[in-house]
Amino acid sequence: MSALVISSGTPRLVFLDDHHLPFKANPHWLWWLPLLQAPDCLLHIRPGQRPRLLFCSADDYWHLPAQIPAETWVTHFDIERVSSAGAAWAALGPLDADTAFVGEVCPAEQTPHFAAINSSLLLAQLHEQRVRKTPYEVACQRAASARGVRGHQAAHQAYLAGGSEFAIHQAFLQGCGQREQELPYQAIVGLNEHAATLHYQQLDRSAPPQHRSLLIDAGAGFRGYGSDITRTYASGNATFEALLQGMDGLQQALCAAVRPGLDWRDLHLQAHLLIAELLAAHDVIKADPQQALESGLSAVFLPHGLGHLLGLQVHDVAGFQPTPTTPAIAPPPGHPTLRLTRQLEADFVVTVEPGLYFIDLLLERARNSPLAAQINWPLVDELRQWGGIRVEDNVLVTATGHQNLTREAFKLSETA
């Protein structure tokens, strides 16, 4: 391909309604320029020439038209203003015969002009480029981490004050200074038993009579890049508090192991082994930790992957395919939800998020299986009221090891 056209994306109408769903820009668009709220724009890229930006600023008195920010990056583009999506396509003009298109929607009348539309090979090549973060991208992720940490600190204070899930969520937004649609993903705020739902999303407006635990998984955004941070707080049960302390320690040990050349699948299995050791140490399970890993007993308490790549998308691209032309690497048997299976390389950014949960569905399945004899059911039934534990940091792989962007952001906030 000698040229590429990238669309920023088009707002979608709600079914049988006249208002739009929140707009989310094409991540390949954001890789080139940080215009998060600029729908119906086109970027025309030709090697050896300045990128051409067809910027749609609609004639609209119902909404504020998109504006080009007064920032230095605009000097690197030839910018042409247009008044509609149709005008952007018309202004694109004749294209080279082997021009490719990347975007959510290509109008039917435009498809004959492209040699490829969202080519799987081209996307794989672009994804492989995106997996290694530039210094600019790392700076954006540091800024997103700092914002996310401020939100988490505000949410923690709301929890200590006895707030509802909704109030804790609002405190997070206030703390990081962003609207919900600006967040990289819908925040997870679960009190007590709700912490056992991995992606709990209800945000109860009423506070429970007693705050036993809080699991908050929430991140902030900066120029399209996101942070993904989880913290758990608990009181009122010595065993659960000890499990929480142990989870924080083993999570930091897993972070410390991050380095170039590490097979992520091995670290995922190591997380299962460490959690099985923690469960056995506190009499939650009655099994050898290695046997608990091999039998699937540890997966009753940790049913998700250890982490994933992070960047312009929360579950960022290229987690399974080491090169654009090689087959995807399968997860270990019995661990189908792992979102990263390749070896780590310098400039990757990953999340490290081990979890330990008391999930009714999985526990009942275990109760009716050969695993039942290895579980301390009276203790498990007691701990269900606290839901679960997840601790998550964002970690940059460096040439010699790693940098923990999340812990650094918390430390900087405490000294500010």
Q: Please write the tens of the pLDDT for every residue from 70-101.
A: 999 999 999 999 999 999 999 998 999 899 99
Q: Say whether pLDDT at 414 is over 70.
A: yes
Residue ranges, comma separated, of all CATH 3.40.350.10 domains in the chain are 3-118
pLDDT of residue 62: 85
Residue ranges, comma separated, of all CATH 3.90.230.10 domains in the chain are 135-415
Higher pLDDT: 2 or 119? It is: 119
pLDDT in tens, 246-278: 999 999 999 999 999 999 999 999 999 999 999
The pLDDT-based confidence of 348 (bands split at 50, 70, 90) is very high
Class of domain 3-118: alpha beta
- Contact predicate 227/219, CB 8 Å: yes
Q: Say whether pLDDT at 403 is over 80.
A: yes
- CATH superfamily for 135-415 is Creatinase/methionine aminopeptidase superfamily (3.90.230.10)
pTM for the predicted model, two decimal places:
0.95
